[in-house]
Amino acid sequence: MPNKEFLETYPLYRKFRCEVPTGLLDVPVPTINLYCRICKSEQTYQMVYDYRYGDPRIGSYLSSEGKILRIAYKCAGCQKYEYIFLLRFDENLQYMEKVGQYPPWSIKIEKSLAEIFGKYEETYKKGLINESQGYGIGAFAYYRRIIEEIIDELLDSIPEIMGETEKAAYMDALQKAKQEKDATSKIDLIIDLVPDVLKPQGFNPFKVIHDQLSQGIHVDTDEECLEKAAALRDALIFLINQIVRNRNAKREFTASMKKLLDKKK
């Protein structure tokens, strides 16, 4: 069934696999949160009409099989700004997908990410553009290139958020990793030493990156690569955000403690 994640984050033509209700009246209408250009902030959006809008048989049972529908969501803040989605329901009711969206899927990069990506920012944007248009192979290739180029910097940043006990074993593995040439081999050496702060609920994002980099893209379809590209992007962004956030928090705490000690002196 359509949910917030699908409407807010899925690019065009990426299949949202779910058990689609047979009737349009049974398709859920989730509330979503997206950016509003009028309010200039994240806002709550609600669907303007139900899924039967525009059909002359209002009130009758309408099958969702193979339907292509236009739906509109309006900002609850200004009551003006809208997002329009063109959705296609699978004939066999196994998935649904966006075949149109306005405003288009955003490729805007957060300032913190742009600073870290540096010279790779344009490559990342190209990956987002490919992903937004359903070109999975292209998106996967761009994200993979970034990871292969930025992996050393990423691995070098981890010790800053580690305790002294964790750091000793990690630094030994890091030195060995730097002697390897490819990203997969580097990650293989440190994957079990990643601190808990980078493993939400025990889930290791480095394993996602490792597994996806280990798989070739020469035989996969655009659809298969689209799923992999999204997983790579999410894992990479999570790691960068967590490392930067925890590193900054640690530095701010250290600076605060030093100020307190200086005052006592």
Q: For residue 53, what pLDDT is reported?
A: 61
Region 210-224: mean pLDDT is 82
Q: Are 5 and 48 in contact (CB under 8 A)?
A: no
Q: Are 61 and 49 in contact (CB under 8 A)?
A: no
Which 3-state string (H, E, C) describes the chain?
A: CCCHHHHHHCCCCCCEECCCCCEHHHCCCCCEEEEECCCCEEEEEEECCCCCCCCCCCCCCCECCCCEEEEEEEECCCCCCEEEEEEEECCCCCEEEEEEEECCCCCCCCHHHHHHHHHHHHHHHHHHHHHHCCCHHHHHHHHHHHHHHHHHHHHHHHHHHCCHHHHHHHHHHHHHHCCCCCHHHHHHHHHHHCCHHHCHHHCCHHHHHHHHHHCCCCCCCHHHHHHHHHHHHHHHHHHHHHHHHHHHHHHHHHHHHHHHHHHHC
Q: Is the pLDDT of residue 102 over 80?
A: yes
CA-angle at 166, arms to 165 and 171, nearest 5°? 110
Region 115-131: mean pLDDT is 86
Counting every residue, how long is the chain?
A: 265
Q: For residue 175, what pLDDT is reported?
A: 92
User: How is the chain split into domains, by residue range?
Assistant: 4-102, 111-256
The pTM score is 0.70
Strands 95-102 and 41-47: unpaired
Question: Which range, 13-22, 54-63, 253-262, has the best average confidence (pLDDT)?
Answer: 13-22
Q: How far apart are CA 174 and CA 4, in angstroms?
A: 39
Q: Is the pLDDT of residue 93 over 90?
A: yes
pLDDT in tens, 144-163: 888 888 888 889 888 888 88
- Look at 16 and 220; give whichever has higher pLDDT: 16
Q: For residue 265, what pLDDT is reported?
A: 57
Sign of CA dihedral 111, 114, 118, 121: negative
Region 17-28: mean pLDDT is 86
Region 182-194: mean pLDDT is 90
- Look at 120 and 74; give whichever has higher pLDDT: 74
Q: Is the pLDDT of residue 55 over 90?
A: no
Q: Is the pLDDT of residue 58 over 70?
A: no
Q: Is the pLDDT of residue 60 over 60?
A: no
Q: For residue 208, what pLDDT is reported?
A: 87
Region 203-216: mean pLDDT is 84
Q: For residue 41, what pLDDT is reported?
A: 92
Region 201-222: mean pLDDT is 83
Region 197-212: mean pLDDT is 86
Instruction: Calculate the alpha carbon distances from 35 to 32, 39, 81, 99, 105 in Å.
Output: 10, 8, 10, 21, 11
Please state whether 141 falls in left (phi above 0), alpha (psi between -120 and 50) or beta: alpha
